[in-house]
Structure 1
Amino acid sequence: MAETRKASRFIVPVAVAGVAAATIGLVPALAASGDPDLPEITAAQLIEKIAASDTQTLSGTFRISTDLGLPALSGLASGLGGGGTSSADPTEKLTQLFSGSHTLRVAADGPDRQKLTLLDGSDEYSLVHNGADVWAYDSKSREAFHEKLSDDRGDRGEEGPEGLPGSPKQLADEVLKAAGDTTSVTVGGTAKVAGRDAYQLVIKPKQNGSTVESVKIAVDAATGTPLKFTLASVEGGKPVLDAGFTKVDFGRPAASEFDFKAPKGAKVTEGAAEKAGEDAGAESGGHGGPFGDALPGGLGGGLADLGGDGVNVIGEGWTTIAKLDTGAPAPKTEDAPKEFQGFLDSFGDKVSGKFGSGTLFKTKLVNALLTDDGKVYVGAVTKDTLVNAANAAK
């Protein structure tokens, strides 16, 4: 037990970097091949086209590649002492989408039926929302996870297929909500995506100090549906996030696509809402959609969720920084359990300034400064911007 409590102190910087990476900013790098000749359109008109899109049905193949510049996360969950959960639980299984490249099959038929299948060689992981039921099944472990949705979570007509976690539509909506005076929005030509003619919406910060270089959203010229989303870092290299369809069909999928019955002999785990009853299910909401915010593209919650009323916001726009005061000295990396030491050291740098000293946990998108006196500064900003903010707050 002592070792478990000791380990939990070192989850904080990992959680800060990981959760913030899922809730701040976005970036691009869309390769154009055989660009179609389409009528000219302004950025405002293209944004209106996205907003007016009412795609309710689709199916296809989806490819998502994520490169946050983090060391491998596999096996980290087991080091947290979080045993006892099903391998089919979406919050456990889908963390692998934080790194590497993955192929998924997706299908949607309005707000009540969606299906996502993660392909991993001959193994498949399926997540199915059909009415009031959410099922997940891991063919490798032969484990299933089931949760019964309460009425307020199962009836969300406004979400539609964009409720699919990490979909280009969901990602585009989050970026467009944040666009303002600190943002440049232009049309950057056209592209072919999944065999469809598309416009490219290019979004860039006007401010210096952001880790975001740009965001590109490929928008279907006919329907206004975002088909591809690419997020690039000022550090260059591979995109931080490259998510889009390789095949897409806007026809209605067969109803049988969303049928699910746990295979004979499979171990079935019921979700917390199902086990605790309807009232507990309503209280445990906050999943952000039928499939929740388990994917990197979930983007729900925001930085304020990390510390509630204890979060102070510094700056605005793309250089916004969240400051948290833990009220306790930061744990020393050398005191961490062995399973965490290498992980923390691999993306943590010692830094100092007028604020004192601390450790900077870095990714290609989000950086977090944990000072030795227990303050945390986190944002999609460069190292120097974080240090300057800490110095100014001293």
Structure 2
Amino acid sequence: MAPYEPEQNTSETGELRAGRRKAARYVVPVAVAGVAAATIGLVPALATSGDPKLPDVTAQELIEKIAASDTERLSGTVKISTDLGLPSFGGDMAGGFAPGGGSGGEDGEGGEGSAADPRSKLMELATGTHTLRVAADGPDKQKLSVLDDAAEYSLIHNGDDVWAYDSKSNEAYHSKSAGKAGDSGKGSGKGSGEKDLPKGVPSTPKELADEALKAVDDTTSVKVDGTAQVAGRDAYRLVIKPKQSGSTVGQITVAVDSETGTPLKFTLTPSGGGSAVVDAGFTKVDFGKPAASTFDFTPPKGAKVTEGDDAKAEEHGFKDGGKEFKGDKDMEGLNDLNVIGEGWTSIAELELPGGQGIPTGGSGDVPPDAQRLLDSLGDKVSGEFGSGTVFKTRLINALITEDGKVYAGAVTKDALVKAADAAK
């Protein structure tokens, strides 16, 4: 497929930023929780085929089309797959390490919470391949269901109520949504339900595309590169690439519905080659109004119901091996976050509390499962900065030095070592 236009000129960056800001205002509220970038290796199973003939558009015009999209009603099936090179986060692994995670004991005793708590359950989308059913009818009605071989997990927002139900454990989780009657304004963030929902885990092509468009600046190449057909819909292919070397991101491709401007498919491929890191797309989509009954929910007979306000799990916390991690409170010791570089090769630099590197398994401070995960990801490195360990995924890498400095970003191992040497 030949591109419609040459690489986007950097002189148009201001216009791209303007289009990007508009795009952020029109997020389709499909995933009640704002479910993530976050961060897929699907093959032709995403029903992508054909090169339909469509009128030529520029990258700027296509970004404006995304920004102008007013799609608030839709239903369909999304296939999402994530290949970060990490072990599976399903089951106990996801529950043990996610905020508020862990399967619920009787009445949630021990601070373990509910198995239906979306803050832990939706972390499973961070690895593997999943099929989702999604539906939306404006800002007050959304539903997302994660389908498993023998079970289903659903998250439903209907007016003032947010329900989550895990059929495997027959547990339900309920909270009140933000912007309910009596709040100071819709979406004010003051409702009790908002704090119970996970942040930063995009699960639809629209949410992923909005995050990608935020990165468009002078360090980025943007162009329209042909057409495709996704879920039976004609679409343009918007390609976003870093201009800088050293980034782990190869390119991002967004298939944009030619009629509505709604992103239908999102693919992030790594600079190192191989399968996509993130690939999410509709296999079926309908832009009609979903039936009102789609958003109805009543807990099944015998289901254990946990109310969000009564959950005993600490906000932002988890327990593992009898030791409780306090989340945000424990993170207060992280000192002087600094950003090195710009654009796609930006590296976050910070200092761990106590001026020491990560504890080892022999110290007794790291649970065995966590230690095995760290050992499988780490590479020993050295340089002018001294020595340390690079923990790697196919997208995000982090160098932790023996003296407690951390350098992290969507950059290569060599870029992290170079940054640590320069900061010494």
Q: Take 1:29 and 1:181, find their aligned partners in 2: how far apart are those partners?
A: 30
* Residues 187 and 322 of structure 1, relative CA distance in 2, 3 Å threshold: same
Matches within 5 A, 1:293-312: 310-312=336-338
Amino acid in structure 1 at the alignment position of 2:160? A
Please tell me whether residue 339 in structure 1 is matched to residue 369 in structure 2.
yes
Could you state the TM-score of these two structures normalised by the residue count of structure 2?
Answer: 0.75
- Secondary structure of 2:398's aligned partner: strand
Deviation digits for residues 23-61 of structure 1, max 9, x if unmatched?
A: 57x799996621101111111100010000000100000
Shift of 1:79: 5.2
Shift of 1:153: 9.9
CA contact (8 A) 2:335 2:353 kept: no
* Residues 212 and 153 of structure 1, relative CA distance in 2, 3 Å threshold: farther
1:386 is matched with 416
2:66 is matched with 50
- Secondary structure of 2:361's aligned partner: helix
Q: Take 2:333 and 2:214, find their aligned partners in 1: how far apart are those partners?
A: 22
* Residues 361 and 206 of structure 1, relative CA distance in 2, 3 Å threshold: same
Range moving further from structure 2, 83-92 or 105-114: 83-92
Shift of 1:312: 0.5
CA contact (8 A) 2:75 2:136 kept: yes
Structure showing greater relative contact order (alpha-carbon pairs closer than 8 Å, 6 or more residues apart): 1
- 2:231 is aligned, of 189, 194, 200, to 194
* Residues 392 and 27 of structure 1, relative CA distance in 2, 3 Å threshold: farther
1:324 is matched with 350
Q: Take 1:147 and 1:170, find their aligned partners in 2: how far apart are those partners?
A: 23
1:71 is matched with 87
Q: Take 2:185 and 2:407, find their aligned partners in 1: how far apart are those partners?
A: 37
1:248 is matched with 285
1:4 is matched with none
Amino acid in structure 2 at the alignment position of 1:332? P
Q: Take 1:117 and 1:153, find their aligned partners in 2: how far apart are those partners?
A: 30
1:358 is matched with 388
- Secondary structure of 1:71's aligned partner: coil
Could you state the TM-score of these two structures normalised by the residue count of structure 1?
Answer: 0.80
CA contact (8 A) 2:40 2:82 kept: no
* Identity, % of aligned positions: 64
* Residues 168 and 310 of structure 1, relative CA distance in 2, 3 Å threshold: same
Matches within 5 A, 1:149-298: 149-151=177-179, 155-156=186-187, 165-272=202-309
Q: Take 1:197 and 1:177, find their aligned partners in 2: how far apart are those partners?
A: 25
2:32 is matched with none
- 2:144 is aligned, of 104, 116, 130, to 116
Shift of 1:238: 1.5
Q: Take 1:366 and 1:198, find their aligned partners in 2: how far apart are those partners?
A: 30
Range moving further from structure 2, 238-247 or 74-83: 74-83
Q: Take 1:36 and 1:270, find their aligned partners in 2: how far apart are those partners?
A: 50
Q: Take 1:337 and 1:164, find their aligned partners in 2: how far apart are those partners?
A: 25
Q: Take 2:83 and 2:332, find their aligned partners in 1: how far apart are those partners?
A: 23
1:315 is matched with 341
Q: Take 1:262 and 1:144, find their aligned partners in 2: how far apart are those partners?
A: 7
Shift of 1:334: 3.3
Shift of 1:270: 1.1
* Residues 143 and 311 of structure 1, relative CA distance in 2, 3 Å threshold: same
Deviation digits for residues 229-276 of structure 1, max 9, x if unmatched?
A: 00111122211100010000000001110011111110001114x669
Shift of 1:96: 1.2
* Residues 308 and 184 of structure 1, relative CA distance in 2, 3 Å threshold: farther
2:127 is matched with 99
* Structure 1: gaps (5+ residues): 1-21, 158-162, 277-283, 287-304
Shift of 1:107: 0.3
CA contact (8 A) 2:215 2:343 kept: yes
Q: Take 1:54 and 1:85, find their aligned partners in 2: how far apart are those partners?
A: 37
2:176 is matched with 148
Q: Take 2:201 and 2:377, find their aligned partners in 1: how far apart are those partners?
A: 31
Give the length in aligned residue pairs: 340
Q: Take 1:318 and 1:237, find their aligned partners in 2: how far apart are those partners?
A: 20
- Secondary structure of 1:385's aligned partner: helix
